[in-house]
């Protein structure tokens, strides 16, 4: 019997080729979108799931609640790990890593000790030996129990070992970082590369043994720079242990804060500060909750999952719409089969078989389409996903999905078609399908509502990107060339800068690792008015080291006071602050006032200038306080170019570089490119939204095209009569498109508040953002209407131009 059902289903699909194409094509597109998004979600959910004993491993974070604001941070004090290890027997192991570029982590120049040429590499980190063991990183060479126990020891990944020591044993070899011959690094271990689905990635792990970045750093409870992970003993009550950690604040933090001379309210601080344990398996998708390294976001999982479901629903709607719209064409078949004894159950099985056949073909084509689109999707999502053709679960999932989707999509049409009464059919009393179309209209409205919401999202995202890239940020990022790795020049850095400034193509140059773009140094500090450390709480801000040409080179505006001068020795203890810091320190007339911070051990710093606030963080954040001081921070040379001949300028600068560093290739970028890279995630989201909006419109328009063809077919005689009576082509077009335009208008009205709400929530992540104006909704509705009109125009024009005699020849 099933074979007979299958044969009849196939005949019907072949007979109705256009409608079959729309059903299968829409399904295939929806399935392809679902496949791609499912692979993305599966990858995101797989982070840190393969770590042995992950249920006992946690990252420790600080929970701070002050003045109604809540913050969660992963940076802990240097002595925190030792205090926890000593005070809590529940701890099996605890370890730290430090990835701050301020102390030499992040990107660096590195070379073999027996070579002269440096190589630029990223992913340097300082790490405790215990953390290697907590994470369970597989050691290929070296002793996993003590690889980072000795001072100046270095563990590298297999890919780095293969790069620098191909065919050699890397353990025992020596490497030099940033030409610092005073601290040669001996390789004591080689580990497997970090898995792609690990929440961090490092290639060079420098030991923390014997390291002290400044005097008293390893016992300083007032500076937070370390990520700290703990592995608890089996059977530990995590909740109780978490609550016990609060004793750390009173025992260590508050006494040192008092000893530093700050005003302290013990109970207030103890109430505001607490510690939380974050399971390592939850780190990746909680970056919107706890400020840290990983960039996953559970909200995107829900968003993309919802988009996938809706696109698949659009395809299912096409199936339901076309199946019910073509009901009259199947009515005679149903009436005759019931007359000769067929039961409703067998008819339902017949129609469900057709649905299942379409589902199997669509999902197979959708899988192939997803495979073809995967490279493009990987580019959009910044992933390296692989299609799981060989995975043992792949085929079973295809089969189960085919059956599930086929049954769900075909259930209503099967009930509807099998319910025709034979006597009504044979008497010709059955509606021809164009009447009583409220359900189909509702489904079309749902399709276009979904599409318009995606279009609104796309418009808002691109407006936000445009707003960001054209916002007044307080400095000039155009034509600023950044020479990176300049520290390898050593004592020749001043020479390089002065030679560069002599070039006619160069307006100015400055040397500083602290720049208002991501990937450069940051140094958070607490500030006070001088002499008031015991009276007031500290004001947080950034403390940057610059040279006298910094402000002029970057076009930062001085609103009060003056710039640094090479000719004034007193400027060594002077600072320039931004308006934000002046306001937060309550400095109404800041010039000549004195401030202090913990980095200067309480010594006073005279304010000689105030600069206009400029953005050095993402526009998601408010401008923070900033203090600038003269000093040496020689990693990056920023060059302001004043000519359109960029290539010629690069060549001239390269020649100067090569004359001073013949064994070191120059490495550069431009500040506007670095600024744009800060918002790559927003651009990617915009591209993804655009892609899904296009897919949704294609699916919706496929259904609209088929429905319009059906409407023309059913109303062919009416159209012919109207033409005989003198109706114009324009009136015929209006007749056939008017109802669809009304549906698009209804869709726009429904989609607009929903789209506004969703995108308003998204924009809440930004302190500086575009506005969602009325024209976005008009444009979205117009675009959807235009596409819809183009889609149905072919059928409408064709019907309007047909010879009326052909439509009436059987009358």
pLDDT of amino acid 434: 43
pLDDT at residue 151 is higher than 80: yes
> What is the per-residue pLDDT for 247?
92
Q: Parallel, antiparallel, or unpaired: how do β-strands 119-127 and 106-112 relate?
A: antiparallel
Confidence of residue 746 (pLDDT cuts 50, 70, 90): very high
Question: CA-CA distance, 798 to 805, in Å (whole number)?
Answer: 15
pLDDT at 599: 63
Q: Identify the helix (H) or strand (E) that includes residue 143.
A: none
Torsion angle of C-alpha atoms 715, 717, 718, 722, degrees rounded to 10: 140
Give pLDDT tens digits for 15-37. Answer: 666 667 777 887 788 888 888 98
The CA distance from 105 to 95, in Å, is 17
**What CA–CA distances, in Å, run from 336 to 11, 51, 52, 76, 324?**
18, 64, 66, 79, 19
pLDDT band (50, 70, 90) for residue 562: very high
pLDDT in tens, 264-289: 788 888 888 899 999 999 888 876 66
Predicted confidence (pLDDT) at residue 654 exceeds the cutoff of 90: yes
In the structure, what pLDDT confidence band is assigned to residue 66 with cuts at 50, 70 and 90?
confident
Decide which of 450 and 544 is more confident: 544
Question: Band of the pLDDT at 578, cuts 50, 70, 90?
Answer: very high
Question: How many residues belong to the chain?
Answer: 811
Predicted confidence at residue 433, as pLDDT, reads: 45
Per residue in 391-423, pLDDT (tens digit) is 888 888 888 888 887 777 667 666 665 565 655
What share of the chain in percent tops pLDDT 70?
85
Which long-range contacts (C-beta less than 8 Å, at least 24 apart) are formed by 302-306?
Answer: 304/37, 304/40, 304/41, 304/688, 305/37, 305/41
Distance CA 735, CA 212 (A): 81
Give the pLDDT of residue 435: 43
Whether residue 74 is predicted with pLDDT greater than 80 in this model: the reply is: yes
Average pLDDT for the chain: 84
Specify the range with the lowest mean pLDDT, choosing from 152-156, 302-306, 721-725. Answer: 721-725
- Residue 195 is predicted with a pLDDT of 92
Q: How many CA atoms lie within 13 A of 757 on its CB side?
A: 5
3-state helix, strand, coil in the chain (%, to 5): 50, 20, 30
Q: Under a CB-based contact definition with an 8 Å cutoff, are residues 703 and 326 in contact?
A: no
List Cα–Cα distances, 264 to 253, 256, 536, in angstroms: 11, 10, 9
More confident residue, 356 or 114: 114
Would you state the pLDDT for residue 765? 80
Q: What are phi and psi of 512, to 5 degrees?
A: -170, 140
333: confidence class by pLDDT, cuts 50, 70, 90: low
pLDDT at 293: 63
**Pair of tokens at residue 213:** 């970045």
Strands 594-597 and 506-511: unpaired
Per-residue confidence (pLDDT) for residue 436, from 0 to 100 = 43
Between the alpha carbon of residue 449 and those of residues 444, 445, 754, the distances in Å are 8, 6, 9
How far apart are the C-alpha atoms of 735 and 714, rounded to whole Å? 14
- Listed in order, strand segments (DSSP E) in 352-479 are none
pLDDT value of residue 432: 47
The structure tokens listed for 245 are 């950690």
Cα–Cα dist 268/246, whole Å:
13
Closest-CA residue to 420 (of 351, 318, 322): 351
Q: Which two tokens stand for residue 60?
A: 């420790």
Asked whether the predicted pLDDT for residue 182 surpasses 50, the reply is yes
For residue 733, what are its two tokens?
């077009």
Does pLDDT of 509 surpass 60? yes
Does the pLDDT at position 106 exceed 60?
yes
What are the E-state strand segments in 533-598? Answer: 539-546, 558-561, 574-578, 594-597
Q: Are 564 and 630 spatial neighbours (Cβ–Cβ below 8 Å)?
A: yes
Residue 787's pLDDT is 84
Q: Is the pLDDT of residue 614 over 70?
A: yes
Query: Tell me: the pLDDT tens digits for 311-332?
Result: 888 877 776 766 665 555 555 5
Which single residue is written with the structure tokens 């089996």? 234
518, pLDDT greater than 80: yes
């Amino acid at each position: 019997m099933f074979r007979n059902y299958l044969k009849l289903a196939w005949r019907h699909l072949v007979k109705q080729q256009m409608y079959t194409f729309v059903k299968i094509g829409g399904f295939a597109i929806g399935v392809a979108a679902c496949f791609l998004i499912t692979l993305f979600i599966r990858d995101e959910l797989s982070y840190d799931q393969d770590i042995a004993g992950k249920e006992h491993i946690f990252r420790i974070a600080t929970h701070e609640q002050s003045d109604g604001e809540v913050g969660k941070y992963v940076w802990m004090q240097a002595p925190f790990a030792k205090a926890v290890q000593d005070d809590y027997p529940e701890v099996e192991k605890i370890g730290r890593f430090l990835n701050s570029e301020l102390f030499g982590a992040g990107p660096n120049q590195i070379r073999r000790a027996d070579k002269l040429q440096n190589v630029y590499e990223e992913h340097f980190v300082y790490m405790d030996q215990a953390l290697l063991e907590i994470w369970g990183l597989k050691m290929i060479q070296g002793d996993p129990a003590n690889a980072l126990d000795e001072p100046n020891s270095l563990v590298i990944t297999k890919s780095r070992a293969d790069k620098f020591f191909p065919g050699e044993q890397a353990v025992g070899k020596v490497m030099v970082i940033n030409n610092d011959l005073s601290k040669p690094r001996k390789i004591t271990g080689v580990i497997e590369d970090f898995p792609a689905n690990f929440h961090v990635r490092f290639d060079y792990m420098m030991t923390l043994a014997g390291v002290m970045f400044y005097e008293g750093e390893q016992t300083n409870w007032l500076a937070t720079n370390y990520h700290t992970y703990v592995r608890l003993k089996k059977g530990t009550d995590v909740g109780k242990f978490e609550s016990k950690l609060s004793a750390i604040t009173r025992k260590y933090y508050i006494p040192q804060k008092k000893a530093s001379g700050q005003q302290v309210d013990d109970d207030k601080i103890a109430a505001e500060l607490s510690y939380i344990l974050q399971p390592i398996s939850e780190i990746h998708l909680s970056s919107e909750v706890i400020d840290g390294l990983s960039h996953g976001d559970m909200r995107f999982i829900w968003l993309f999952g919802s988009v996938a479901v809706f696109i698949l629903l659009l395809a299912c709607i096409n199936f339901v719409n076309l199946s019910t719209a073509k009901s009259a064409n199947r009515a005679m078949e149903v009436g005759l089969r019931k007359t000769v004894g067929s039961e409703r159950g067998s008819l339902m099985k017949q129609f469900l078989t057709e649905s299942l056949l379409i589902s199997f073909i669509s999902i197979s084509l959708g899988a192939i389409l997803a495979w073809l689109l995967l490279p493009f999707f990987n580019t959009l999502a910044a992933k390296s996903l692989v299609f799981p053709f060989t995975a043992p679960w792949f085929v079973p999932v295809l089969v189960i999905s085919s059956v599930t989707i086929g049954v769900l999509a075909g259930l209503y049409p099967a009930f509807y078609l099998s319910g025709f009464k034979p006597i009504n059919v044979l008497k010709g009393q059955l509606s021809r399908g164009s009447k009583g179309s409220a359900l189909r209209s509702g489904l079309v409205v749902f399709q276009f509502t979904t599409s318009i919401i995606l279009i609104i999202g796309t418009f808002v995202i691109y407006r936000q990107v445009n707003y960001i890239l054209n916002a007044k940020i307080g400095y000039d990022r155009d034509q600023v060339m950044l020479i990176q790795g300049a520290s390898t020049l050593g004592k020749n850095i001043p020479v390089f800068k002065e030679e560069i400034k002599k070039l006619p193509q160069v307006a100015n140059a400055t040397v500083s690792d602290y720049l208002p773009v991501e990937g450069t140094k940051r140094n958070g500090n607490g500030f006070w008015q001088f002499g008031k450390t015991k009276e007031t709480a500290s004001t947080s801000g950034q403390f940057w080291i610059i040279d006298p040409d910094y402000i002029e080179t970057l076009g930062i505006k001085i609103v009060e006071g003056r710039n640094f001068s090479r000719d004034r020795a007193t400027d060594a203890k002077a600072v320039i602050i931004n308006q934000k810091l002046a306001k937060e320190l309550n400095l109404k007339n800041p010039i000549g006032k004195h401030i202090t911070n913990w980095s200067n051990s309480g010594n006073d710093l005279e304010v000689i200038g105030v600069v206009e606030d400029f953005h050095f963080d993402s526009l998601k954040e408010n401008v923070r306080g900033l203090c600038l001081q003269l000093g040496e921070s020689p990693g990056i040379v920023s060059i302001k170019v004043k000519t359109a001949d960029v290539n010629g300028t690069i060549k001239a600068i390269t020649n100067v570089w090569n004359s001073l560093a013949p064994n070191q290739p120059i490495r550069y970028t431009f500040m506007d490119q670095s600024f744009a890279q800060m918002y790559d995630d927003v651009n990617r989201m915009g591209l993804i939204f655009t892609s899904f909006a296009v897919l949704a419109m294609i699916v919706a328009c496929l259904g609209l095209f088929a429905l319009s063809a059906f409407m023309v077919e059913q109303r062919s005689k009416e159209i012919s009569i109207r033409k005989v009576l003198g109706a114009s082509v324009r009136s015929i077009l209006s007749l056939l498109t008017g109802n669809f335009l009304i549906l698009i208008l209804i869709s726009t009205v429904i989609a607009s508040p929903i789209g506004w709400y969703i995108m308003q929530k998204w924009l809440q992540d930004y302190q500086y953002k575009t506005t969602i104006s009325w024209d976005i909704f008009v444009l979205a509705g117009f675009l959807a209407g235009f596409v819809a009109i183009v889609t149905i125009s072919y059928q409408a024009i064709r019907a309007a131009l047909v010879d009326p005699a052909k439509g009436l020849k059987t009358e």
